[in-house]
Chain A
């Protein structure tokens, strides 16, 4: 092992500690309990631990309940957090069965370490929309409209996925936009629009959908350049491989896609 990777492992360990702290604080049951020793294909029982991107919280919670109904005797333990810190946690040995990331890039961090079982599947995609106040009072129809003088636009910081996607889309449209703020996450960008502090924000379609009638979404063609793939994978060290497999199957099933589609996710 080179010194370089050791150092990066070290910093990831920091993130893993954070992830575990979150896990403990959110009251998830300890993973691995009741894990069967049998091979894949055995009866699905016990606890399945799912590390999932924060943007999947609503849909995956719903799918988790469905999973527990379909497989009596099972329990789904979720750890919703930023994809980056989840990936760091997995790479540092956090005991998880399934990882669902909000970007191919973060999934790659885990596959590079050889910690997935098989290839990850892209199960949904997400596209940016322009979030405006209800009724779109400033008549925003395109990315260009965002550069109107006096218009206050917030973007996500480039260090978070929605910010990176916004940069890509703006570059693709050739739009030079100076926002009033680079927000730390989608939620806070949306809050600024909901409270009418900002006139518009670039966020994911699912976030617009989740915000209900507090914001209105405007589609724009450049978002095609910044589509976010959501990959899901079973993990090589999964304590409960059979349940992991069953959970991934549920997410990628027609039923799973229906639930995700209702939340605004696009089919891959």
Chain B
């Protein structure tokens, strides 16, 4: 190679300044590896030979069905109350709003088991609210599927609220004003204008919440207990299997992983890209 030659990189023209700087690329790849290697390890060490046997157990499918059902219902519940809450935080001004926002995010930092105990103290048979639910309506939530949904909602809803509130703050509030001048009440403006505008943010928040609910363990087992077919979701089954049969635990984890990847990929194609 002679020095007089043009450097080879000019042979392939590239827009100037479009290369990925190493200072970003290296940590980015490190981060990716950090996230993927444990999953890869799970795959490498999976008991492939006994896998079919593990997966044909009806208990596995029951736990999976319950997981999907509860995570979906928790997401729906989060949407019903979380989106209005996000709107309240983003669009109105009331004293102590900063404090309320901090409180909303509290379940994010609370250890889920503590969250479960808190739910017991609030909604349990002898809880602050739960005792009245029991006395007046005969409703007890612990040890029920509804309890699982509530526990998952408690942990997952903050993800939705934070995500939707961020989208709302980024959205132009003047669209709501424009709707108002056309005769729309604030609720109509929210429903017919704001909601469609922030739909991508809501979808993203819902996916986050769903994923968090699907993996929920601590609050669920603490509040709703563990009973196959009623409150035993996949993470509970995985945890208990881990006590004496790690191979089975890995197999169950793989099922949970596969299903969530399938659902999240499907949602991403359907929802996130349309905007």
Chain A interface residues toward B at CB < 8 A: 7, 10-12, 14-15, 82, 84, 152, 154, 157, 159-160, 179-184, 188, 191-192, 195-198
Contacts A180-B143, A181-B231; A188 near B221 (Cβ below 8 A): yes
Asked if B126 and A181 make an inter-chain contact with CB atoms under 8 angstroms apart, the answer reads: no
Instruction: Please indicate which of the listed interface residues A11, A14, A195, A197 has the most CB atoms of chain B within 10 Å of its own CB.
Output: A197
Contacts A10-B45, A195-B126, A197-B125; A188 near B222 (Cβ below 8 A): yes
* B residues near A10, Cβ cutoff 8 Å: 45
The reply to whether the CB of B142 lies closer than 8 angstroms to some CB of chain A is: yes
* A residues near B61, Cβ cutoff 8 Å: none
- List 20 interface pairs A-B (beta carbons < 8 Å), by A numbering: A11-B47, A14-B45, A14-B246, A82-B243, A84-B243, A84-B244, A157-B226, A159-B240, A159-B241, A180-B143, A180-B225, A181-B143, A182-B240, A183-B226, A184-B221, A184-B236, A184-B239, A195-B120, A195-B126, A197-B143
* B residues near A182, Cβ cutoff 8 Å: 225-228, 232, 240
* A residues near B224, Cβ cutoff 8 Å: 181
Residue of B nearest to A181 (CB): B225
Residue of B nearest to A199 (CB): B125
The reply to whether the CB of B201 lies closer than 8 angstroms to some CB of chain A is: no
Contacts A7-B47, A191-B117; A160 near B243 (Cβ below 8 A): yes
Other CB < 8 Å A-B pairs besides A7-B47, A152-B143, 15 of them? A14-B45, A14-B246, A15-B246, A154-B225, A157-B226, A159-B240, A159-B241, A181-B224, A181-B231, A182-B226, A191-B222, A196-B124, A197-B120, A197-B124, A197-B126
Residue of B nearest to A106 (CB): B244
B124-180 with Cβ < 8 A to chain A: 124-126, 142-143
* B residues near A191, Cβ cutoff 8 Å: 117, 120, 222
Chain B interface residues toward A at CB < 8 A: 45, 47, 117, 120-121, 124-126, 142-143, 221-222, 224-228, 231-232, 236, 239-241, 243-247, 250
Complex alpha-carbon distance, A139 and B120, angstroms: 24
Pairs of residues from A and B, 10 with the lowest C-beta to C-beta distance, nearest first? A181-B225, A180-B143, A159-B243, A11-B246, A196-B126, A197-B142, A159-B240, A197-B124, A182-B226, A157-B240
Asked if B125 and A184 make an inter-chain contact with CB atoms under 8 angstroms apart, the answer reads: no
* A residues near B120, Cβ cutoff 8 Å: 191, 195, 197
Residue of B nearest to A18 (CB): B242
Complex alpha-carbon distance, A15 and B13, angstroms: 53
Residue of B nearest to A12 (CB): B246
Q: How far is the CB of A23 from chain B (nearest CB, A)?
A: 18
* B residues near A197, Cβ cutoff 8 Å: 120, 124-126, 142-143
* B residues near A14, Cβ cutoff 8 Å: 45, 246
Cross-interface CB contact of B125 among A15, A181, A196, cutoff 8 Å: A196
Q: How far is the CB of A170 from chain B (nearest CB, A)?
A: 16
Complex alpha-carbon distance, A262 and B219, angstroms: 34
* B residues near A183, Cβ cutoff 8 Å: 221, 225-226
* A residues near B226, Cβ cutoff 8 Å: 157, 181-184
* A residues near B125, Cβ cutoff 8 Å: 196-197
Instruction: Please indicate which of the listed interface residues B121, B225, B228, B232 has the most CB atoms of chain A within 10 Å of its own CB.
Output: B225
* B residues near A12, Cβ cutoff 8 Å: 246
Complex alpha-carbon distance, A12 and B133, angstroms: 46
Complex alpha-carbon distance, A14 and B241, angstroms: 14
Q: How far is the CB of B70 from chain A (nearest CB, A)?
A: 15
Complex alpha-carbon distance, A159 and B232, angstroms: 14
Cross-interface CB contact of B121 among A160, A188, A195, cutoff 8 Å: A195
Instruction: Please indicate which of the listed interface residues B47, B244, B250 has the most CB atoms of chain A within 10 Å of its own CB.
Output: B244
Q: How far is the CB of A153 from chain B (nearest CB, A)?
A: 10
Complex alpha-carbon distance, A11 and B143, angstroms: 32
Asked if A192 and B243 make an inter-chain contact with CB atoms under 8 angstroms apart, the answer reads: no
Q: How far is the CB of B206 from chain A (nearest CB, A)?
A: 29
Asked if A157 and B124 make an inter-chain contact with CB atoms under 8 angstroms apart, the answer reads: no
Residue of B nearest to A185 (CB): B243
Complex alpha-carbon distance, A39 and B10, angstroms: 73
